[in-house]
Structure 1
Amino acid sequence: MSDRDTRHQQAMQKLKAHVDEKVAAATEQRGLLLVFTGNGKGKTTAAWGTVTRALGYGYKVGVVQFIKGQWECGEREQLVEDPNLEVAIMGTGFTWETQNRETDTAACREVWAEAERMLADPEVFLVVLDEITYMLKFGYLDIETVKRALENRPPEQSVIVTGRNAHRELLALADTVTEMQEVRHAFNSGVQARRGIDF
């Protein structure tokens, strides 16, 4: 065995020991709160990937879309026939299109009632609150209401929150926080959003 191969084997043995130690230390079993935030692309896509994973195991999943629900969504189109998936969509779509705080707030609270029902249901394994961060930022929902629902959910239920500028109290409450960082985005160079790639 060459010196390089020996060094590689030693490094991999060390890595395996480290990973095995972390796996052995992870003994707690419960639902998680995950936050996908940041200015980069892929937050909703990552959430739908996890939805697909949960559905693949036969778990019940609820998805609440607060902003992009009126838009085409390839993932939703593919999965919507799954009997274990329930999707609730905010009726107004993009708030910057409606520009009406009163109707947007009413639409938000209407779909939030669906989210609260899902968050209280022990049969629902995963709930996705897609783009809910905007609802908090714009004041359509208050953070205490959202925190209360998250803190009182069934212990085995996991929740994914997506959207830019996640509220600091959501970040503090979360088990896992992933920040998508934009390095470059084609849209900023005048390239249109592409069906099948961006939505």
Structure 2
Amino acid sequence: MTQPDPATPSQTAEDLARHAQKMAKKKAARDRMMETKTGEKGLIIVHTGPGKGKSSSGFGMIMRCIAHGMPSGVVQFIKGAWDTGERTLLTTHFAEICQFHAMGEGFTWETQDKARDIAMAQAGWAKAQQMIRDPAIRMVLLDEINIAFRYGYLDVAEVLAFLKAEKPPMTHVVLTGRGAPEALVEAADLVTEMTQVKHPFKSGIKAQAGVEF
């Protein structure tokens, strides 16, 4: 016969009743809070920080939109030369509901051509503006645009002015990349900073399919 774990105290009827009462109070407080949350709006969402997961989270949101039948779009500003899993998935299975534009050619130390990098970033932003202006497109992911800001390929003030003036009220715009400018963080509705606790790259493990791309 299996003996109870001595480290796990047995639950008496009194214990269970206290737990039920505590959860009932928590649910009542939660319900009261949720009653005040009735608004909806298109959000400016920023994923930044040194940790992994910024683009992955953005693409997760795109997949949610697709699942809800919400048209969406993606512009990749830096990773455009990469053969990524998300790019293959979206262009081969969901092209009718999600536009995908890979506008970058790699990080600046790979291209070694700043003028071309700037031109590609500007072309990517022009494509992004077209999609954002279209109220039928409910979410636009600007993947690694924060890197374009950091290297001076795009002007964050110009981007924010456009979003304020021309973004339809119910359109969500997601901007990813480490080092998000302070002005963007200040203007955003939702900001998440990914922290890095441990990464295999520091142990000599290269980027792997299914994990990084």
Q: Aligning the two structures, in what range does the TM-score lie when normalised by the shorter sequence?
A: over 0.9
Q: TM-score by structure 1 length?
A: 0.95
Q: Which residue of 2 aligns with 1:158?
A: 172
Rg comparison, structure with higher value:
2
Q: Which residue of 1 aligns with 2:53?
A: 42
Asked whether the equivalents of residues 46 and 176 of structure 2 are also in contact (C-alpha less than 8 Å), the reply is yes
Output the CA distance in 2 between the equivalents of 1:100 and 1:11.
Answer: 62
Matched ranges for 1:7-156 at <5 A? 7-80=18-91, 81-82=93-94, 83-151=96-164, 152-156=166-170
1:63 is displaced (CA, Å) by 0.4
Output the CA distance in 2 between the equivalents of 1:100 and 1:45.
Answer: 28
SS at structure 1 position matched to 2:196: coil
Stretches of structure 2 lacking an aligned partner (at least 5 in a row): 1-11
1:3 is displaced (CA, Å) by 3.5
Asked whether the equivalents of residues 132 and 161 of structure 1 are also in contact (C-alpha less than 8 Å), the reply is yes
Q: TM-score by structure 2 length?
A: 0.89
Deviations 1:139-162 (A, max 9, x none): 111111110222120001001111
Q: How many residues align?
A: 199
Deviations 1:80-111 (A, max 9, x none): 23101101112422222112211110111011
Q: Which residue of 2 aligns with 1:184?
A: 198
1:10 is displaced (CA, Å) by 2.8
With over 3 angstroms needed to count, the CA separation of the structure-2 counterparts of 1:31 and 1:37, relative to structure 1, is same
Aligned AA (2:170):
E
SS at structure 2 position matched to 1:113: helix
Asked whether the equivalents of residues 119 and 149 of structure 1 are also in contact (C-alpha less than 8 Å), the reply is no
RMSD of aligned Cα (Å)? 1.3
1:68 is displaced (CA, Å) by 1.2
1:2 is displaced (CA, Å) by 3.0
Output the CA distance in 2 between the equivalents of 1:95 and 1:10.
Answer: 59
Asked whether the equivalents of residues 63 and 86 of structure 1 are also in contact (C-alpha less than 8 Å), the reply is yes
Stretches of structure 1 lacking an aligned partner (at least 5 in a row): none
SS at structure 1 position matched to 2:46: strand
